[in-house]
């Protein structure tokens, strides 16, 4: 979670449920913009009468058109990534909601403070269970942009992933720094998670994703899960699409 608020009358969310409540209901007070982001990405504080935290707000109106993704869909893809993350139970994606904000509807996500002592280029090369879970998650959502800067190890030891606006394409677009396990058998933990996820995608989770993705995109997500279970292995670069994001960090 983000750091405790300065205001002594407020406290930071104690868990993800409180964080989601805060993000849905809180008043957003913008403080600045992340200038290195390709789409408009604003940061600020979000507060209710009792809770406060830092947040990231990406208005749909600030999305840059892309040739391979429909206009105005990136916020919905971010929400979809959070829903899949929650269903998998690994908390890869920080608490995220879709709501109205100062510049219209957009994605609002809890700001995560990373561990400044971690050397990211070295960290992403580690055989770390959290990174391996993230690699499985990215294969499910077809993440086209897993840069090093989109990986946030926290001082508490949890590892989050952010910036999931270009996920869920119906075409194979996996681009990631996390190819360490390419072609290797999936851990038993991942197989169990994928089996459960497949069931949920055919049920309530699939219906919830239909609010943000096309039916074909949801169906292709189901197929990616089925293929991972069929092979029992981490995917390998296809050779038809650049395997690494650029820039990598």
The pair of three-digit structure tokens given for residue 12, joined into one six-digit string: 């930071």
Instruction: Place 247 in a pLDDT band, splitting at 50, 70 and 90.
Output: confident
Instruction: Place 157 in a pLDDT band, splitting at 50, 70 and 90.
Output: very high
Nearest to 76 by CA among 106, 37, 46: 106
Per DSSP bridges, beta strands 42-47 and 52-59 are: antiparallel
DSSP one-letter code for 176: B
The answer on pLDDT for 2 being more than 60 is: no
Q: How many CB atoms lie within 10 A of CB 21?
A: 16
Beta bridge partners of 44: 30, 55
Name the packing angle between helices 188-201 and 129-141 (round to 10°): 30
> What's the pLDDT score for residue 4?
47
Nearest to 87 by CA among 224, 182, 202: 202
Total-model pTM: 0.94
> What's the pLDDT score for residue 249?
87
Q: What is the pLDDT of residues 183-239, one digit of tens each?
A: 999 999 999 999 999 999 999 999 999 999 999 999 999 999 999 999 999 999 988
The pair of three-digit structure tokens given for residue 84, joined into one six-digit string: 């899949």
How far is Cα 224 from Cα 213, in angstroms, rounded to an integer?
15
The answer on pLDDT for 83 being more than 50 is: yes
How far is Cα 48 from Cα 17, in angstroms, rounded to an integer?
14
State the average pLDDT over residues 148-166: 96
User: Domain segments of the chain: what residues?
Assistant: 16-231
Beta bridge partners of 152: 160
């Amino acid at each position: 979670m983000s750091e405790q608020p300065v205001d002594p009358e407020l406290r930071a969310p104690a868990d993800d449920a409180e964080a989601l409540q805060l993000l849905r209901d809180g008043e957003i007070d913008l403080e600045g913009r992340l200038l290195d982001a390709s789409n408009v990405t604003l940061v600020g504080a979000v507060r209710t009468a009792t809770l406060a935290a830092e947040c990231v707000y990406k208005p749909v109106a600030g999305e840059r058109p892309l040739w391979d993704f429909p206009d105005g869909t990136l916020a919905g893809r971010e929400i979809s990534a959070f829903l899949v993350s929650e269903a998998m139970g690994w908390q890869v994606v920080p608490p995220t909601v879709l709501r109205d904000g100062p510049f219209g509807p957009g994605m609002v996500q809890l700001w995560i403070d990373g561990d400044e002592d971690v050397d990211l280029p070295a960290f992403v090369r580690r055989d770390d269970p959290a990174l391996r879970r993230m690699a499985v998650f990215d294969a499910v959502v077809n993440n086209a942009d897993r840069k090093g800067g989109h990986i946030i190890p926290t001082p508490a030891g949890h590892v989050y992933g952010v910036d999931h606006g270009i996920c869920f394409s119906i075409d194979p677009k996996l681009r990631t720094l996390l190819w360490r396990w390419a072609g290797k058998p999936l851990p038993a933990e991942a197989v169990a998670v994928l089996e459960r996820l497949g069931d949920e995608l055919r049920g309530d989770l699939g219906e919830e994703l239909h609010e943000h993705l096309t039916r074909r995109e949801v169906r292709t997500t189901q197929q990616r899960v089925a293929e991972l279970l069929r092979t029992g292995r981490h995917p390998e670069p296809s050779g038809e699409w650049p395997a690494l994001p650029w820039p990598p960090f």
